[in-house]
Amino acid sequence: MTHQVVPVRTYVAVFAALIALTIATVLISGIDLGEYNFIIALTIAVTKGSLVVWFFMHVNQSSSLTRLFVGAGFFWMLILLMFVLSDYLSRGWLPGPRWW
Amino acid sequence: MSTTLPRPETTERPNYLNVDYSWKSWLFTTDHKRIALLYLFSITAFFLVGAVFAGLMRLNLLFPDGLFEHDTYNKFFTMHGVIMVFFFLVPSIPATLGNFLLPIMIGARDLAFPRINLLSWYIYIAGGLFAVLAILKGGVDTGWTFYAPFSTTYSNTHVILAAIGVFVSGFSSILTGLNFIVTVHKMRAPGMTWSRLPLFVWAHYATSLIQVLGTPVVAITIVLLMLERILHAGIFDPNLGGDPVLFQHLFWFYSHPAVYIMILPGMGVVSEIIACYSRKGIFGYGFVAFSSVAIAVLGFMVWGHHLFVAGQSMYASMVFSFISFLVAVPSAIKVFNWTATMYKGSITFDTPMLYALGFIGLFTIGGLTGLFLATMAIDVHLTDTYFVIAHFHYVMVGGMVLAFLGGVHFWFPKMTGRLYPEMWARLAAAIIFVGFNLTFFPQFILGYLGMPRRYATYAQEFQVLHVLSTAGASILGVGYLLPLIYLSWAWRKGERSSQNPWQAKGLEWEQSPTPPPTFNFDVPPVVTERPYNYSEEVEVGGY
Amino acid sequence: MADTDLSVASHASTALKHHFDDSEQQLESSTLGMWVFLLTEIMFFGGMFGAYTVYRNLYPAAFASTSHYMNVTLGATNTAVLIFSSLTMALAVRSAQLGQKRALLSFLTFTLILGLVFLSIKYVEYHEKWVDHHIPGPGFHYAEPQYFHQAQILFFLYFAMTGLHALHMIVGAGLLITLIAMAARNRFSAGWYTPVEMIGLYWHFVDIVWIFLFPLLYLIGRTMR
């Protein structure tokens, strides 16, 4: 599994990137960009999460089986979110009374 | 060095049963075969409790004005559902036959995580105790589906106790699935490639994927339900700004794939039995294997068909309806392949085969009626009627329970070293088949005619059909009791079995002694031939 | 140095369970098992992310209103604390890999302390909410009465999600204490340090959950009106 020892500077570099991205997301959230606030914040979060998964959790050294399972996990959560959202977002497409 | 004379039983070779008789060796075992038996006894006990509630329901339904208080009837159908779904069907085949056979079938000495296997059983029992406690304190009346806001706000029964029981038992299911996944990936014997795996293993692998990916969502749903019941923040309560349909989305995201947990292992059992009693390899092995995984994956994208009349958007409903049609295809593929397997096979009608054939017929009826329900326009008429009840009992009982019984009979010699009495077993299978159909076929008609489900009373015109159904249930009850009696008897007093009484193929029959030793094999197996190698030449279209 | 260079052979052989053929199979199995478990955790939190997404979309005005009560300073600090703890955890695993017992103990302890710092800051935040009567239940009160019900639902989700996350942190802290005790007793070596690695994966996962919780709960609504 983790056959190679990762140099300390790699971990520190990832750490620095994560902190930088955190600062960025906090600063950007203070600016009103409308819908883009959400997209940018989520993109940064996905980037940060990917850095943790790839470097800290050693997926960069892992087998394709492990990577398949990691991908499957996020994909399955997306199935949940997307299908549930598809209901709520498309409810307004039909004329009818709204309860909310 | 013992100075006492050896008991007659110990002249038999050491196996996983006789290696230690103490209760500690059973309650603290990490042997997957013993854990399988611990599960077998536990789920049988829960099945009987669930069956008692079913009996009380059918008793009530003999009379149009009912027999019990309406609230009491509500508790009957709730506890029947909760126990049968969460404490019988979900663990049934995987935790018993799967636990016992999966390592042996792939040539391993145990599952990947034996202690987690034991923990899984402990957790199951803990969850079961909460459910029993809920029953003893008066039961729950929300239906096994725990719909909010009734469950969170208006029900004055012990919802939280029952919910904890379900929540806890979910972790048992997750751990079993986790164990199976890692075992199949990492513990196969040399030569046991994925394309040589018995279809029983494929089915359990697919089931395990569902258990691992789906169960956590119902777990969090139950957490939210319990928090809401305590705090009344309004997350599912329309009076407080919440959406009850959100509960249904989160609940059914698991509970629909759960029904595939409750059928896929049975399909795996049927594949093994059909091959053995047709003396032929399963036709279209690759298709059957792939269809298991396809059912598992597609099964996660259809849950909205439970929400067609709940207020879900029509567009989302159309997507769910379409995918629900799609998910029927892999099931049909299996049925076609089993049939093709039997074609020009050398068929014998021993008890396991009777159950497998019953499965094919009854599951087909149940599955096809599912398509009626997947059709939105028809579902508007049939939803929440007895048609739905008949549909799922055809697949759950006519399918899974029959497969379970067939599997228990098929592998009974392997697990116990004894043979069961064949004539009694065939009689019981026939009684079960007749009783089952008499119980549930009238319910299709009842539902079509408009009899709603979960009603304690009904219009006079439905009584004849209800009486037929209750009569069938009595017969079915007799049919269930028979194996309980003769299998218990056969365990102690049955004729001793040879290593491979059915001359079946598979590592568990050919290379593992009967009953197996603690570590399954005397000699580590190496796999060199294709599965189901029942005849030397490759059959047309066969593996 | 006796404590930095632990022998490989003895630890590896006694750690091999009988049902495995070799320690590589055992390590691969443990790793796959931990990842499958993390998969279940993704789905566990995912359900609540789903509920949050639904209500955020249904009640944008109420969401904007409740956003003002989220303490971004504390939340951002906590984010940095957790990221730092992921670094120290990764370094702890690396120390174990190199058989460096003292470094392993140091990094595990740092990670634990950072985790406890996170939980302390969380406590401060929760206390703030309690003082403001923003805890759902009979004592709930909201300044803008037209959003009373929606705000209660949104705060309910806030507490459910951060509470579940905090619970996982507490479990993680307990696991770290166990690791520290094991490491102190020389249970780990360069040949076998699987629990350190597995709990490391768990810890990083809990960090990732927070990486998503922070923007969704604290940042998105800041400029919404």
- Using CB atoms, list chains with 3+ pairs below 8 Å to chain A: B, C
How many CB pairs below 8 A link A and B?
A: 47
Residue C30 lies in a domain: no
DSSP per position, C170-190:
HHHHHHHHHHHHHHHTT--BT
| Contact with chain C for residue A24, Cβ under 8 A | no
CA distance B515 to chain C (A): 19
Residue C2 lies in a domain: no
**Cα(B397)–Cα(B439) distance, rounded to whole angstroms?**
11
| Contact with chain C for residue A27, Cβ under 8 A | no
Return the CATH number at C85: 1.20.120.80
As given in the structure block, the two tokens for residue B234 are 């309004």
Q: How far is CA C129 from CA B93, B227, C66, C115, C135, in A?
A: 48, 18, 11, 21, 6
CA distance B248 to chain C (A): 12
List chain B domain ranges: 29-510
Q: How far is CA B407 from CA B93, B353, B446, B506, in A?
A: 8, 10, 32, 14
| CB contact residues (below 8 A), chain B span 170-209, against chain A | 185
Confidence of residue C10 (pLDDT cuts 50, 70, 90): very low
**Interface test with chain B among C22, C36, C45, by most B beta carbons within 10 Å:** C36
Cβ separation C212–A41 shorter than 8 A: no
The whole-number pLDDT of residue B4 equals 56
Burial class (CB in 10 A: 0-12, 13-18, 19+), B45: middle
What stretch of H or E contains C168?
Answer: helix C148-184
Cβ separation B249–A87 shorter than 8 A: yes
Query: Under a CB-based contact definition with an 8 Å cutoff, are residues B171 and B189 in contact?
Result: no
DSSP code of residue B133: H
Query: Under a CB-based contact definition with an 8 Å cutoff, are residues B368 and B234 in contact?
Result: no
- Using CB atoms, list chains with 3+ pairs below 8 Å to chain C: A, B
Residue C192 lies in a domain: yes
Which residues on A lie below 8 Å from C211 (Cβ)? 45, 48-49, 52
Residue in A42, A43, A63, A52 with CA at minimum distance from that of residue A19? A52
| Contact with chain A for residue B239, Cβ under 8 A | no
Cβ separation B187–C29 shorter than 8 A: yes
Q: How far is CA B333 from CA B201, B301, B303, B326, in A?
A: 18, 19, 22, 12
CA distance B316 to chain A (A): 5
Fold adopted by B29-510: Cytochrome C Oxidase; Chain A (1.20.210)
Cβ separation A90–B249 shorter than 8 A: no
Number of structural domains, chain C?
1
Q: pLDDT tens digit string along C78-134?
A: 999 999 999 999 999 999 999 999 999 999 999 999 999 999 999 999 999 999 999
* Residues whose CB is less than 8 angstroms from the CB of residue C122 and which lie 6 or more positions away in sequence, other chains included: C78, C162, C166, C169
Q: How far is CA C144 from CA A61, B320, C58, C137, C152, in A?
A: 52, 39, 18, 17, 11
| Contact with chain B for residue A95, Cβ under 8 A | no
Query: Under a CB-based contact definition with an 8 Å cutoff, are residues B265 and B319 in contact?
Result: no
**Cα(A50)–Cα(A56) distance, rounded to whole angstroms?**
10
Domain, as residue range, for C114: 44-219
Residue in B144, B372, B362 with CA at minimum distance from that of residue B263? B362
pLDDT, mean over chain B: 94
Average pLDDT, integer, range C139-146: 93
Is the pLDDT score of C207 beyond 80?
Answer: yes
Asked if residue B515 has a cis previous peptide bond (ω within 30° of 0), the answer is: yes
Residue C187 lies in a domain: yes
Q: pLDDT tens digit string along C21-53?
A: 888 899 999 999 999 999 999 999 999 999 999
The whole-number pLDDT of residue B268 equals 97
As given in the structure block, the two tokens for residue C142 are 């909201």
Q: pLDDT tens digit string along B15-68?
A: 999 998 899 999 999 999 999 999 999 999 999 999 999 999 999 999 999 999
| Contact with chain C for residue A68, Cβ under 8 A | no
| Contact with chain B for residue A91, Cβ under 8 A | yes
CA distance B303 to chain A (A): 9
**Cα(B21)–Cα(B432) distance, rounded to whole angstroms?**
34
Residue C26 lies in a domain: no
The whole-number pLDDT of residue B175 equals 97
- Give the chain B residue nearest C53 (alpha carbons): B246
Which residues on C lie below 8 Å from A42 (Cβ)? 215
* Residues whose CB is less than 8 angstroms from the CB of residue B246 and which lie 6 or more positions away in sequence, other chains included: A84, B235, B236, C51, C54
Residue C7 lies in a domain: no
**Cα(B461)–Cα(B463) distance, rounded to whole angstroms?**
6
| CB contact residues (below 8 A), chain B span 379-398, against chain A | none
As given in the structure block, the two tokens for residue A36 are 């883009």
Residue in B140, B118, B120 with CA at minimum distance from that of residue B130? B140
Nearest to A2 among C46, C197, C215 (CB): C197
The whole-number pLDDT of residue C16 equals 79
B357-382 in b/e form (b: 16+ CB < 10 A) is bbbbbbbbbbbebbebbbbbeebeeb
CA dihedral B446, B450, B456, B461 (to 10 degrees): -70
Cβ separation A93–B238 shorter than 8 A: no
| Contact with chain B for residue A94, Cβ under 8 A | yes
The whole-number pLDDT of residue B183 equals 97
List chain A domain ranges: 8-93
Cβ separation B215–C25 shorter than 8 A: no
Q: B197 phi and psi, to 5 degrees?
A: -65, 140
Q: B239 phi and psi, to 5 degrees?
A: -65, -20
B436-473 in b/e form (b: 16+ CB < 10 A) is bbbbbbbbbbbbeeebebbbbebeeebeebbebbbbbb
Residue in B161, B174, B301 with CA at minimum distance from that of residue B225? B161
In B299-350, alpha helices (H)? 314-342
At position C29, the amino acid (one-letter code) is S
Which residues on A lie below 8 Å from C54 (Cβ)? 84-85, 88
Confidence of residue A96 (pLDDT cuts 50, 70, 90): low
The torsion region of residue B282 among left (phi > 0), alpha (psi -120 to 50) and beta comes to beta
Cβ separation C33–B114 shorter than 8 A: no
Which residues on A lie below 8 Å from C42 (Cβ)? 73-74, 76-77
Which residues on B lie below 8 Å from C137 (Cβ)? 230-233
- Give the chain B residue nearest A97 (alpha carbons): B311
In A1-100, alpha helices (H)? 8-29, 36-51, 64-90
Nearest to B220 among C18, C47, C137 (CB): C47
The whole-number pLDDT of residue A23 equals 96
Query: Under a CB-based contact definition with an 8 Å cutoff, are residues B44 and B37 in contact?
Result: no
The whole-number pLDDT of residue B103 equals 97
**Cα(B235)–Cα(B442) distance, rounded to whole angstroms?**
40
Cβ separation B216–C43 shorter than 8 A: yes
The whole-number pLDDT of residue C21 equals 87
3-state secondary structure of C219: helix
In B343-410, alpha helices (H)? 351-374, 376-382, 386-395, 402-410
Query: Under a CB-based contact definition with an 8 Å cutoff, are residues B245 and B304 in contact?
Result: no
| Contact with chain A for residue B19, Cβ under 8 A | no
Which ranges of chain B have pLDDT less than 50? 1-2, 10, 539, 541-543
Nearest to A31 among C35, C220, C223 (CB): C223
Cβ separation C156–B227 shorter than 8 A: yes
**Cα(C215)–Cα(C57) distance, rounded to whole angstroms?**
16
Residue in C17, A71, A4 with CA at minimum distance from that of residue B187? C17
Rounded to two decimals, the pTM is: 0.94
Query: Under a CB-based contact definition with an 8 Å cutoff, are residues C54 and C222 in contact?
Result: no
Is the pLDDT score of C153 beyond 70?
Answer: yes
Which residues on A lie below 8 Å from B300 (Cβ)? 76, 79
As given in the structure block, the two tokens for residue B166 are 């379900």
DSSP code of residue B496: B
Residue C9 lies in a domain: no
pLDDT over 70 percentage in chain C: 93
| Contact with chain C for residue A15, Cβ under 8 A | yes
Residue C13 lies in a domain: no
